[in-house]
């Protein structure tokens, strides 16, 4: 079975085309105690909607698809 970092990365890879389409991307920094730490890159880093993208899009997908994930945090 894939470890949690690999599972998170798989979900991010599925979401990546949507971020890239808008000129952004994200990078997995760490997964610690069920908290995924992401760095938003490109247009996502400065977009006013990035918090919504992070919480409503990425976090929701990770909570649904990866057991043990409790939250997604943005790191800079």
This prediction has a pTM of 0.90
Lookup result for tokens 């800079």: 76
Task: Select the highest-mean-pLDDT range: 1-5, 7-11, 42-46, 72-76.
Answer: 7-11
Domains of the chain from N-terminus onward: 4-74 (3.30.300.130)
pLDDT of residue 53: 85
- Structure confidence by residue, pLDDT tens digits, 20-30: 998 999 999 99
pLDDT category of residue 56 using cuts at 50, 70 and 90 = confident
At 46, list the tokens: 């400065």
pLDDT category of residue 49 using cuts at 50, 70 and 90 = confident
Of 2, 44, 49, the closest CA to residue 24 belongs to: 44
CA distance 63 to 66: 6
């Amino acid at each position: 079975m894939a470890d949690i970092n690999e599972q998170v990365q798989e979900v991010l890879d599925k979401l990546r085309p949507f971020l890239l389409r808008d000129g952004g991307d994200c990078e997995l920094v760490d997964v610690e105690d069920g908290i995924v730490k992401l760095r938003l890159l490109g247009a996502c880093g400065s977009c006013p909607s990035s918090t919504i993208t992070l919480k409503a899009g990425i976090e929701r997908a990770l909570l649904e698809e990866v057991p043990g994930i409790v939250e997604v945090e943005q790191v800079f």
